[in-house]
Structure 1
Amino acid sequence: MPTASASRPMYEVIEEWLVEQCETLGPGGNLPSEVAVAERFGASRMTARRAFQNLAEKGLIERHRRIGSRVRPAPLHRQDSVLRPLTDEMRRRGLTPTSRLIHAGLGPNPLAAQQLGLPATEWVLTIQRLRFADGTPVALETACLPNDFADVLEEDLEQGSLHAALAHLGRTPARATGHVTARLATDEEADLLELDPPAALLVESRLIVDSTGRRVESTQSAYVGSRWVLDTGAYGAPSSLTSPA
């Protein structure tokens, strides 16, 4: 086992060993606890903690009070020009998509109703799910739909796709508009997404219409900033290409 020397402190030795464990375990792998590592190297827990913290600051691992430390999962990439369910995005990358249903039901939501083109007093269907990729939570998603889509609750929303459920009702999502903002996770969100606060979230708000132009879904997805990447592209405006430098 590597040992410390006068010119090499123990936390660096532990850090080097942890890097080797990260390479062996791969993205999402769980590392031993601080206590176990400290005992392995005959070091104090504070020394082991410093090694873990250094790797977290370098972006190699994630730490959480409840689940411990694990190798940082590879971020999930998504093209901004393609309307594709997150379930399909994960499967295209060889990941296993699952969801945990947090809430589903009808109720008042004036803002969502207006976004869907409905009277503010009309109830909407709200579905909140925690989305996972290979067992790692990547997003907390809240989707609001018109109340006449309540039949989607009969579908498997934990193993399946909400868009597939809409298609079964004859409402195929065709186009989306939206925007992305950034904020810190609330304590509840951090706990669900297995993050230690303060933690950054990228929040995407989208309005989806079907092939007839009807508004069928207003969704807000809070993605873990380190686990989600939006791939973008743009063309130069014609005026900027022809104007003198």
Structure 2
Amino acid sequence: MTTRSIPRHQAIERHLRSRIANSQPGDAVESDSDLTALFNVSRMTVRQAAQRLADEGLIYRVPGVGTFVAEPKVHRDIARLRSFTEEMARRGAVAGSRILVAELRTGSTEELAALHLAPRAKVTHVRRLRLADDKPVAIENVVLPMSCSAVLAEDLEHGSLHDALRALGEIPTNASGTLVAINADDEDAELLAVAPGTALLVEERLIVNESGQPLEKTQTRYAGDEFVFHVSLAR
């Protein structure tokens, strides 16, 4: 499909995305009037295209001043089950981790119930500071059955936990969860390099394997000003 055959607002959006990719945060992009003249369209069409990028956190508009490239945020599609590593790759970022905890321990009552394990059973616990292009953006706390303990021998600072699970024959297949907002405590703030009290987004997920058995209970605390979550809804 050529540029001429696509809707004009999509052509404008592609143009702006190209400009953003070759610009630095704070750089100005064309004004509405410049884009109106360049593409020979109405201001409404220009604003439709620009608003999509603003909603994604790629640009910001200052009334009476102009439109500027925003500090890049990490975009996550919560309608699809992807690992952090996969999400970062889709967004052009390099995923990394700093291991905070990697151990076998006795599971809590809540963890054992979620994973359908017997009382006082052991669990595999991995807690990591997740990095995007070496910048701390999330704190991930994962609990797995003891049968998955072989993942502790893997390189979880540079590799994907889900890849390690697949190598064991455990395929993360479906997930359910919640997303809430909290304020960063002192430990969160230190790890994420934010001020105490900064807004965080907390995602709780329970992932099951191909047989429908609970495989992974995860809590991830995201730096609120670093992430944009995309949700698709259908009636």
2-structure distance, mates of 1:167, 1:78 = 22
Report 1:50-61 matches (<5 A). none
2-structure distance, mates of 1:117, 1:218 = 11
Residue deviations 1:71-116, cap 9 Å, x none? x842211112211111011112111110000001111222111110
Give 1:134 shift.
0.8
Amino acid at match of 1:90: M
Amino acid at match of 1:133: A
Structure 1: segments with no counterpart, 5+ residues: 1-22, 28-59, 61-71, 237-245
Quick one: percent identity of the two aligned structures?
Answer: 40
Amino acid at match of 1:169: L
Counterpart check, 1:144 vs 2:146: no
2-structure distance, mates of 1:131, 1:26 = 23
Q: Is the 8 A contact 2:100 2:128 kept in 1?
A: yes
- The aligned residue for residue 231 of structure 1 is 230
Which SS does the other structure have where 2:162 is aligned? helix
- The aligned residue for residue 106 of structure 1 is 104
1-structure distance, mates of 2:176, 2:190 = 29
Deviates more, 1:73-82 or 1:134-143: 73-82
2-structure distance, mates of 1:134, 1:74 = 11
- The aligned residue for residue 168 of structure 2 is 169
Report 1:1-245 matches (<5 A). 26=25, 73-108=71-106, 109-236=108-235
Task: State how many pairs are aligned.
Answer: 172
- Normalised by the size of structure 2, how large is the TM-score? 0.69
Larger Rg: 1
Give 1:196 shift.
1.1
- The aligned residue for residue 239 of structure 1 is none
Amino acid at match of 1:179: T
Amino acid at match of 1:105: E
Amino acid at match of 1:211: E
Give 1:123 shift.
1.7
Give 1:169 shift.
0.2
User: Over the residues paired in the alignment, what is the CA RMSD in angstroms?
Assistant: 2.0
Which SS does the other structure have where 2:225 is aligned? helix
1-structure distance, mates of 2:149, 2:234 = 41
2-structure distance, mates of 1:96, 1:234 = 29
Residue deviations 1:109-143, cap 9 Å, x none? 22111110112321211100000001111100000
Residue deviations 1:165-192, cap 9 Å, x none? 0000000100000011111111011000
Q: Is the 8 A contact 2:189 2:196 kept in 1?
A: yes
Q: Is the 8 A contact 1:110 1:122 kept in 2?
A: no
Runs of 4+ in 1 over 3 A off after TM superposition: 23-27
Amino acid at match of 1:212: S
